[in-house]
Structure 1
Amino acid sequence: MSRAASIKDVANHAQVAVGTVSNVLNNPDRVSKRTKDRVLQAIDELGFVRNDAARQLRAGHSRTIGVVVLDVGNPFFTSLVRAAEDAAAVNGSAVLLGDSGHDANRESHYIDLFQEQRVQGLLISPVGDVADRLEALRQRGVPTVLVDRLADEDRFSSVSVDDDAGGYLAARHLLDLGRRKLAFVGGPLSIRQVSDRLLGARRAVAEVDGAALEVLDSDGQSVLAGRGVGNSLVERGAGNMPDGIFCANDLLALGVMQSLTMMNGVRIPDDVALIGYDDIDFAVSAVVPLSSIRQPTDAIGRTAIELLTEELDAQHARHRAVVFTPELVVRQSTAGAAAPH
């Protein structure tokens, strides 16, 4: 196997000094057009690729941004990361993605890895309380922005959605349809977003006499987990089913829908009104188009990069917490659903 061309090989091929090649790569304004063209031709002919690791060592950081999310398989996070990646590209940066899978040890591994890679900064949707760890990271020159989690502005910048308000919107919508036997599907409650959505739902139910809210813990937040909850509901029998279900995310809601409608003949929304959370692309194309609480994923991703850019600016010393308001999107899974007799 032939070795990769070095910067010295390029200099010899172009018949210039090594420093001239370095200027072409890093400070092209210092080099005449004729010399620059000769060096670029040598680079092309030799297939030279610059050693960015060496440049990172000199600069103390790279042109990359680390992003750690809870579940890259969830379209909510996929859309968020894509928006962040687009915004970072405008600033000449690239995104390195890590999926914690709701695992604190795996999350810690990615934080270590991104620090070793000398990332400019870190965006993270944390599994638990990592404030002290992120504070230490910032002291080492790596600023952090919390994503999909509200942070203490004295310590960090953050971008999030008011999940308490979103949970209230979802449950209030079911209650306004006349549904009184509600169920909340989601878990684990140690995830702040899930517990906040439940808190909002409980607040809405407390406002209506005769309404009740049952909490059904799911084994994860996937379609398969939702299908398992749906199957357990069917086993109870029609008389013991809730008449309105609020799922902590759309994947769970789609799984519940599959179980109830495709496998067990429950009518949505006639027998059970169903609403999810996130408003992912799949929601509109479900077998029964799914009502959901929309989160502005594009705005969240772009704002996260904006906040990180502010953190990287030495002149900007103040942290900010940006909180978006969620929106109710009504589709056939609840639309026109009168209270069942």
Structure 2
Amino acid sequence: MGTAAVIDGQVTTIDQVQGLLDKAVQEQPYAQQLAAQHKLDLVGREIVRQQLLHAVVRKAAQKEGLSTDDAAISAAMSQGDPLAGALPENLAQDQPAAVTQLVWRVRDHREAITDQYLEQKLAAKYLPMLSVTVDYTVIGAPSADDGAPTIDPATARSEALANAQRYAADPAALQADLAKGAQGNVGEPLVGLSSPADASTVLFGTAPNNVIAFQPNSTGAPSGWIVAVVKQRATDKPVSTDQPQQPTPDQIGAVGVRLLQPYVNDVNYKINPRYGVWDTVGMDLAANANSLQGVVLPVRGSAPAQQ
């Protein structure tokens, strides 16, 4: 009852999570704002998420032969710890990012920076070679006339999840829907370097023979749901593109986290439901199963999908 998580045999207690929460409220004005809004559960959930991702990134680094540059990390910290001090006020406008950075600041700083360093190295290694091919449909995309969603968000979500189940049972159903006029395409090639923002989504982290349903922009302007059957995923040779984009540091970090997706199941973990359930689509902990940002389902007869 006192356990928040057990990750590869390492126990994180509820008291330990509470200790970091108390530290956040004592040291960080942003945490005090969240406390006043009764939103500290977001911070507790992020603490447990980062504990899990810490184990995952170390497992991935071991398998990928990635090593930390301890001297460089020491030098960076000696020149001014980037996680020292209060969270900058301008970051508070993006709540998910702000909560993530808040937890970095209450964790061991060297450990948090090392995790980010390894995630960035993973992105640098694979982003130039990352490509996928998908069959997909779009549900509830904004209309071309006024940019408003064509159906309400709840209906779009329900239809997307239902279609994911149908396509997992019978991938040919997607092509049948396209023949009936659904928006989408068959055999769509996607290259990570052409859109680093998209490269951080579940589209690029999921193995072939899986169906995914997700909303690319769930927090900004209204967008449709994408339901896709992943046909191919390649990370073994550089991909040429006519329109490469230079990823921002934040995008590199997000791609690195997405590239951890195949390694999550290499870690043996159990999360206390009080802190939520693992959400593969969000690479996050959702409050409950109804709050998942989407689904990843295996095509019938293939290996189980990573959830």
TM-score category of the 2 structures, normalised to the smaller one: under 0.3
Q: Which has the higher contact order (CA 8 A, sep 6+)?
A: 2
TM-score w.r.t. length of structure 2: 0.20
Higher Cα Rg, which structure: 1
